[in-house]
Structure 1
């Protein structure tokens, strides 16, 4: 498997895990995944990717006349959007611009370090629902 395929598998595992958790306040918004939880999901997935040694990631916030949307971008230019299906676009991993960047113009970059203690606590609820790190491709173990 190549890098994109490995990230796609992790994205699918992440989405399945999100649906298995019974989310409590203040992260109860995740019970409505993918609707209105792009920021929280991006913090969770971005930190998961970095914890597994899959590169450096940050959140891109895009704005349209109807609102905003967040997705992940790596230092190498890969985009991952775990909540794009709320806009009729399948969740994706892609090298290059997000299919939603025409609708949501990138306005700011948000560091993953800006997550709150509430994010960290909820992330800890998600981790047991994910496949163990050992199930990642050896190609990515320890890489950055």
Structure 2
């Protein structure tokens, strides 16, 4: 398993690579990074970690109670489901979050705000992929071409 420092380095390298993309895949335009990129960044990082380290991370999609707004992040869990590490690559899109992504043993601060869990599991099983295949193709292409 990678160290927290190695994971932080990977997250920053993925963020730097994302900043070089001309347009967000599903919208055909560039949004203000890191806003609107939580799913893509999380999926890309999960794909890279699984491909390079053979470690499966849990993709978490959570929302605000009774509102469509949401956020996504990754958790590494042991066999009984206990969270070991969290990666929230785009936490800094929220003014209350501080500055920078979150990588560590503690839960992302976003989990205190986005409390309605909509999905927890492998990113490939996330229901949005059934009607928006751009996430899957983007993650696969990005992981293959990024050199990370």
TM-score class normalised by the smaller sequence: 0.7 to 0.9
Secondary structure of the corresponding residue to residue 70 of structure 1:
strand
TM-score by length of 1: 0.75
Aligned with residue 113 of structure 1, among 102, 116, 124: 124
In 2, the alpha carbon distance for the partners of 1:29 and 1:37 equals 12
Taking structure 1 as reference, are residues 111 and 87 closer, same or farther at Cα in structure 2, changes over 3 Å only? Answer: same
Checking the alignment, whether the CA contact within 8 Å between 1:21 and 1:126 is kept in structure 2 is no
Deviations 1:20-73 (A, max 9, x none): 122364353664321122122211211111111162102112222462111111
Q: How does 1:65-144 map to 2 (within 5 A)?
A: 65=65, 67-76=69-78, 77-88=84-95, 89=97, 90-105=100-115, 107=117, 108-114=119-125, 116=129, 117-123=133-139, 124-125=141-142, 127-131=144-148
The answer for the alignment partner of 2:21 in structure 1 is 21
Secondary structure of the corresponding residue to residue 111 of structure 2:
coil
The answer for the alignment partner of 1:36 in structure 2 is 36
In 1, the alpha carbon distance for the partners of 2:114 and 2:23 equals 28
In 1, the alpha carbon distance for the partners of 2:28 and 2:15 equals 16
TM superposition shift of 1:103: 1.1
In 2, the alpha carbon distance for the partners of 1:6 and 1:127 equals 20
Checking the alignment, whether the CA contact within 8 Å between 1:60 and 1:70 is kept in structure 2 is yes
In 2, the alpha carbon distance for the partners of 1:106 and 1:64 equals 6
Taking structure 1 as reference, are residues 8 and 29 closer, same or farther at Cα in structure 2, changes over 3 Å only? Answer: farther
Runs of 5+ consecutive residues of structure 1 not aligned to the other structure: 132-144
Taking structure 1 as reference, are residues 62 and 25 closer, same or farther at Cα in structure 2, changes over 3 Å only? Answer: closer
In 1, the alpha carbon distance for the partners of 2:47 and 2:30 equals 16
